[in-house]
Amino acid sequence: MDENKVIICRCEDVTLKEIRNAIREGFTTVEEIKRVTRSGMGPCQGKTCGLLIAKEISQMTGKPMEELELQNIRPPYGGITFEEVTKGTITENNK
């Protein structure tokens, strides 16, 4: 199996090769790699790929995992329908 074709971020289809290239280019934090590759920006907000990326950074840079900052995790958003918008049925309780 070609490790470079391994998908690290399933939400955004980011491969291990893309993560390694970003680290070689000097992006050595999870947040930086998130910004240049879009990993961790999908529906799961990096719950899976964030740790995998941190592990790769640790292996390639020699920094211990405990010293790496993980990405900022934001709360998930839910969608609303046009019907809810046009009928004005959105309230503070059902956002």
pTM of the model: 0.72
Q: Which of 50, 44, 43 is nearest to 79 (CA)?
A: 43
Q: Which pLDDT does position 23 carry in this prediction?
A: 96
Token couple for 56: 């790769």
4 or 5: whose pLDDT is higher? 5
* Largest distance between two CA atoms of the chain: 56
CATH number for the domain whose boundaries are 5-85: 1.10.10.1100
Q: Which of 42, 27, 31, 11 is nearest to 72 (CA)?
A: 31
**pLDDT(40) > 90:** no
**pLDDT(94) > 80:** no
CA dist 65 and 54 (Å) reads 7
Q: Which pLDDT does position 74 carry in this prediction?
A: 67
Question: What are 41-85's pLDDT values in tens digits?
Answer: 888 888 889 999 999 999 999 999 999 888 776 666 677 788 887
CA distances from 22 to 15, 17, 48, 78 (A): 11, 9, 18, 31
